Structure 1
Amino acid sequence: GLSCEASVEMLAEDMQSNQVIFTIEDDNGEFSPDERLTIQNIFELLAFDIDPALFQYIPFPDAQYYTRLLDLYGTTEPIDEEWTAQISALSHDIDKLTTSVQTYVAT
């Protein structure tokens, strides 16, 4: 919903970081104030032995992916009328959307 949208906007504002940083409630004082968790650290704390390369997201935008994604968004309850209009507009110009995202990713 809207909180997810706000979260994504906040993440997108930080152009200097290449990591998503997590904070946790630390009632037992296990972490110093300057320690921050990454998703990799979380899996390590849970004793999952996962290849670190899996935590590096590399987008490969393509028209088929965005078509499926927008079709999925179209089945959700709309936030407002503008949401529905945006989904429709993006769906009708997948090539422009894909080019725009590819340009953004390349920068």
Structure 2
Amino acid sequence: RVTLLGDAVHAMNPVLGLGTNNAFQDADLLSQALINYSSEEPISCIQEYENEMRKRSTVDVLKSRSMALNMSAPVGLLRTFIRNCSLKFTNFILNFSSIFRKYIE
């Protein structure tokens, strides 16, 4: 019997940063399930892991999918203009503050 964990089971958009967290949680859940291994029912621990993993990760997969759809949806000219101006302003502030710090030191 083979089981999977992390992105091999539930690939997610990297924007939310949930992929690695889910992989760690899957590994922890699988190790806990393997502690309960029984030679009479060898597959039951894997089934237990997979059932719990699906329950836990479904919410994160749906959040990730929703975020990916929101990011790829057309936003219109005004929102695009506001986004681009905000990014340019943020970049300017970050560059200005780093240059300003050099002169203060």
Give the TM-score normalised by structure 1. Answer: 0.24
Richer in helix (by share) = 2
Give the TM-score normalised by structure 2. Answer: 0.24
